[in-house]
Chain A
Amino acid sequence: MAVLEIKGLRKKFGGVMAVAGVDLEVQEGTIHSIIGPNGAGKSTLFNLISGYYPSDGGQVFFKGKDITGLSPQEIVKMGMGRSFQVTEIFPKLTVFANIHATILYHRGEGLRLFKNAGRLFREETEEILSMVGLIDKAAETSGTLAAGDRKRLEFGIVLATKPDLLLLDEPTCGMSPAETSETIDLIQEIAAEKALSVLFTEHKMDMVFCIASSITVLNFGTIIAAGKPEDIRANEKVQQIYFGEDQCSLK
């Protein structure tokens, strides 16, 4: 069954069709990747799905319900969590507080004015920090973390909202090869453990082919190929985009 279903989604910025009629299905419990060159419309697509931008046409269904035009808040509440290409965390709060605040809100404590926040949900917070490997840095100010750790923290924030579908926008951007493979393992592990569905964009092709069970290739806002990794690898159009048709033309 498809956890996410997109039909004819469109978005125009000025004269540019950033997303020009995209159809896409993410099957429940699978890891699905969107690839494509810079400016292909990957991030715009994410922003449309998660309610960040209003779309100019088309529909988005999440768990069978039409979520087109809903606010980000309503979509998060339904169980879709997202990360951003440029990591979005709460930079002046500690690593602990980043996760803690998310959990407090998500457990409906946000409007408590006179309870002591410090006593609530400490264990849950520590559990997520251990999961993403940041428990030793819990007391640090999150803005001072290295890029890879910040990505992991954002991943933790997203997990703290207890999502069923993860939207990850370049989850290993700015990471070293070692960190990248660690993060891949982490995403796979958690997705399997919690039976999550994942939709992610990525530039590192080896990572995509390593963990995705299906791949959609986007260029100029339209889908040019979709299917299993081996099909995509063999696809001529995809090879053209990524490697160029005439590789010897410079000679």
Chain B
Amino acid sequence: MDIGRAKRGATERSNTEKWLWGGISCLALIAIPFVLEKGFSQYDLYLVIKILVFALFAMSFNLVLGYGGMMSFGHAAFFGVGAYCFSLLLVRASCPLVLAFLAAPFAAAIVGLIIGYFSVKIKGVFYFATITLSFAQLVYILAFKWRSFTFGDDGIQGIPVPAFISTDVSYIPYYFFALVITLICIYVLWKISKSPFGMMLMSLRENPERAAFIGIKVERYRLIAFVISAFFSGVAGVLYALLETSIAPEILYWSMSGDVILMGLLGGMTLFLGPALGAAIMVFLNSFITSYTEYWGLFLGTTLILIVLFFPKGLGGLAVEKYRTWVKGKKK
């Protein structure tokens, strides 16, 4: 029996379907800003870009949690370092945009290498979460207290955004800029998730002991995943800084690390696109609910308790499960 061939046959049949869906998604992504600008407001377009930024952040994070099984509670550090490095290079050193944009993710990756170096040796979810949290809070304190360099709690205001992606008049140019960067990053993350390295990560998540006894150098693989994740979180941080044109130490605070975990839980960590869905839900709900009540936290908490209790695979996981049973039912 050749399962490989049977499987390949099935993928060939669904290829036309794939192209169709791909085409529709592309058109939708291109149409979104124009529809929103005509029918809604610039604020809605701003929210969509924010979703892109956080979708990238959440998916980078998911390489560590969903694929690698490492409960990092310190990913705000990489997002924040990306944003801070980029902004400081522009404001303090008048560095060219391209250079700053390239340097920031590498800075985040280096911080990821340092934090990861000490963290990946730690066994146990709780201790891993604690050590990453501690490191991230250290970075936060640094940004908060080192006023002469980081502007402390004043944050960095008036980040010089070049004219071609300026958001002063319309968010449309920046939407396309952020979209292209995000899609490229997501494509790379997707390739990694399908690669032998991605499989190694999943086997580490499933059973580190077994993995060690087929020869996998557990710590090295974890560290590499951690650094890659930090790099793309840094890219998300840069996109955030450009979107907001100002940043504050709050983006390094532990609650930001918490938010990205919640996005994964909401959307579903077992799906590649799950965290992106979680990011979309979080950003929209946050803006929607905070316009009615200040008890956003209360609402978020309740939703999460319900999800963890009843839909542990997240809303994305739930949708996929329902879809699969529906397809099966149709076949019968």
Contact = CB atoms under 8 A, between A and B. Distances in A.
A31 to B, nearest CB: 21
Contacts of B217: 73
Nearest to B204: A90
B200 to A, nearest CB: 5
B320 to A, nearest CB: 15
Interface stretch (A118-126, A212-220, A240-248): A118-126
A88 B196 contact: no
Contacts of A116: 194-195
Interface in B200-221: 200, 202-203, 206-207, 209-217, 221
Interface string B2-17: 1110000000000000
A100 B203 CA distance: 11
A150 to B, nearest CB: 12
Range, interface on chain B? 20 to 34
A37 B217 CA distance: 34
Interface in B158-193: 188, 191-192
Contacts of B209: 84, 88
Contacts of A71: 212
A115 interface: yes
Contacts of B2: 126
B213 A76 contact: yes
A115 B195 contact: yes
Contacts of A106: 214-215
A72 B206 contact: no
A157 interface: yes
Given A91-B206, A113-B191, A101 B199 contact: yes
Contacts of B203: 90, 93, 101
A192 interface: no
B317 interface: no
Nearest to A77: B215
Interface in A155-198: 157, 160-161
Interface residues of A, number: 45
B43 interface: no
B206 A117 contact: no
Given A92-B206, A110-B200, A116-B194, A72 B4 contact: no
Contacts of A109: 196
Given A76-B214, A90-B202, A117 B207 contact: no
A84 B191 CA distance: 33
Interface in A23-73: 50, 52, 71-73
Interface in B134-167: none
A96 interface: yes
B210 A97 contact: no
B207 A113 contact: no
A89 interface: yes
Interface stretch (A9-17, A133-141, A231-239): A133-141
Contact of A113 (B4, B192, B215, B216): B192
A152 interface: no
Contact of B195 (A76, A90, A97, A117): A117
A139 B191 CA distance: 22
Given A101-B202, A135-B1, A110 B197 contact: yes
A111 interface: yes
B198 interface: yes
A161 B215 contact: yes
B221 A110 contact: yes
Contacts of A73: 212, 215-217
A170 B215 CA distance: 21
Contacts of A123: 4
A85 interface: no
Given A73-B216, A110-B221, A89 B210 contact: yes
A112 interface: yes
A110 B214 CA distance: 12
Interface in B1-37: 1-4
Interface of A: 50, 52, 71-73, 76-77, 81-82, 84, 88-93, 96-97, 100-102, 104-106, 109-118, 120, 122-123, 126, 135-136, 138-139, 157, 160-161
Can you list the 5 inter-chain pairs with the closest CB atoms, starting with the nearest? A90-B206, A76-B215, A88-B210, A109-B196, A104-B196
10 contacts: A89-B210, A97-B199, A102-B214, A104-B200, A106-B214, A112-B195, A113-B191, A117-B196, A117-B199, A122-B4
Given A73-B216, A123-B4, 16 more contacts: A71-B212, A88-B213, A90-B207, A91-B206, A101-B200, A101-B203, A102-B214, A104-B199, A109-B196, A110-B196, A110-B221, A114-B195, A116-B194, A126-B3, A136-B1, A139-B3
Interface of B: 1-4, 188, 191-192, 194-200, 202-203, 206-207, 209-217, 221, 224, 228
